[in-house]
Amino acid sequence: MQTFDFIDTFQQAAPFPVLGTSIPTEAYLRLELSVDNPDFAHTDVPTYEGLETYIRHLLQASGAQVGYGGYNEHRIFYHQSPLFNDGTTPPRCIHLGVDLWLEAGAPVYAPLDGQVHSLAFNNQPLDYGTTVILEHELQGNRFWTLYGHLALSALENLQVGQRIKKEYPFAEIGARHENGGWVPHVHWQIILDLQGHSGDFPGVATLAEAPSYLQICPDPALLAPFLL
């Protein structure tokens, strides 16, 4: 695993907002989607419709455009998919990235210069759906950023090895049929050690696995300090 000072390195790089600059920072609302959220005692969040209604209500009530959050959050709504809960091993429930909840079709921008490392359509229930991994290098240090739940157009428009400049809108947020069956959002994750993966990387870990994964997946808000 790399040991460079990624916090200082990221700050010096002056990253571009993943959702662009047309959305003001005050239009972002931090969402609490953990098992500790008291609202979930009377909200049917495990269903698509329940989660969609809950998020839409919070955004409308606050006048916000984007809901965000989820890093190192213990969640329950993955358990309905065998991808995360196969009944024989401990369920995966600790979220390793940040979710940015916005309508389908919204552009997703590269926060830093890089290139397309890999692409995939991970289409199991509640998986990433359309997925893009970008490879970056700063001050001689290599790392990756993963974007899940995108529109299928990304697979048509991008090629492995393609150079992507900072601020370039390389993808769009996907609709339910192309994003793994989720309420529209982008899952954004920093990865310091890709461990040989291509087109995919765990975005949710078991309780036991979480500490080691969080070491190689720092908070993406380090590339967007206004989210901290």
pLDDT of residue 205: 95
| Cα 152 from Cα 183, distance rounded (Å) | 15
Q: What is the value of pTM for the model shown? A: 0.95
Among 200, 224, 187, 159, smallest CA distance to 10 is for: 224
Q: Are 99 and 187 in contact (CB under 8 A)?
A: yes
pLDDT of residue 3: 53
pLDDT of residue 119: 98
pLDDT of residue 155: 98
Half-sphere exposure of 68 (CA within 13 A, CB side): 24
What are the pLDDT digits (tens) for 172-218? 999 999 999 999 999 999 999 999 999 999 999 999 999 999 999 99
pLDDT value at 110 more than 60 = yes
What are the pLDDT digits (tens) for 49-76? 999 999 999 999 999 999 999 999 999 8
pLDDT of residue 90: 87
What are the pLDDT digits (tens) for 127-140? 999 999 999 999 89
Which residues, in sequence order, are CB contacts of 68 under 8 Å at separation 6+? 28, 29, 30, 31, 98, 99, 100, 101, 227
User: Phi first, then psi: what are they for 65, rounded to 5°?
Assistant: -100, -30
